[in-house]
Amino acid sequence: MEIEKSLTNLFELDGVRGTFVLDPKGQVLRSRAHAIYDQETLQRAASSVSKALDSMQVQHGEWNSTQIHFSDGKLLLRSLGQYILGVIADSSTNVAFANVALNVAAKKITEVIESKPIEAVAAAAAAAPSAQAPAAQPHLNVSGLSMSASGLGLSASGSAPPIHMSDEVNAFVTRCVKALAKSVGPMSKVIVKETVRGIALNGELTRDQLRPLVKALEEKIEAVEERSEFRNRLGM
């Protein structure tokens, strides 16, 4: 399938940790990513990106390309009409080279989409599970988008109710995001956010829950040898 082939070609670029196509509803149509970026994680991030792009379009009109920057990498986005092509890249990615490859992939994927009804494209995608590669060290401030990356973003508009925590706990959680990013890349914020929600079931994260949090985050790192490094970064 041409969409799968195009995503794989992008995925093979230096520093690229994941590629995906979103449908008009913001759902992940196809993806090629390291195992740490499972379908559920990608979909959560995709939903936020889709909403932000919709907001940007309302404010600034049509867009062709944009980038979402994170401390350890970036998300490169291309408009495919009603669809969106995205690339998760770490800081080592040559953006100029990646943009050329993105243009080629965008053209090919658009041709596929325009040659088939939306239903047919979606059905073909559903029939072929998204490919994943072994976990590696992938490495999202926002250019042109009104998305807040302040702290952990647990109180982002349109999301679940915010998780309450003291300044001390919040500072530690922020350290977790940065430490985890060394192993899983720009999706660390999403992973930490969802893990915190799974632990702070009463809506508040306390100091007593920090060790269970670290343990849960540690298990998100597939390379066993990197788990101790994660703890060391946190001073544990």
Pairing of strands 28-34, 131-133: parallel
Q: What's the pLDDT at 6?
A: 92
pLDDT cut 70: percent of the chain above it? 76
160 band by pLDDT with thresholds 50, 70 and 90 = low
Domains of the chain: 2-133 (3.30.450.30), 167-233 (no CATH)
Residue 144 φ/ψ, nearest 5 degrees: 80, 5
Taking residue 83's Cβ as centre, other Cβ atoms within 10 Å add up to 19
Sheet holding 65-70, edge to edge: 65-70, 73-80, 83-90, 16-22, 28-34, 131-133
| pLDDT tens-place string over residues 19-54 | 999 988 888 888 888 777 777 778 877 777 777 777
| pLDDT given for residue 157 in this prediction | 36
Q: Would you state the pLDDT for residue 58?
A: 64
Banded model confidence at residue 105, pLDDT cuts 50, 70, 90:
very high
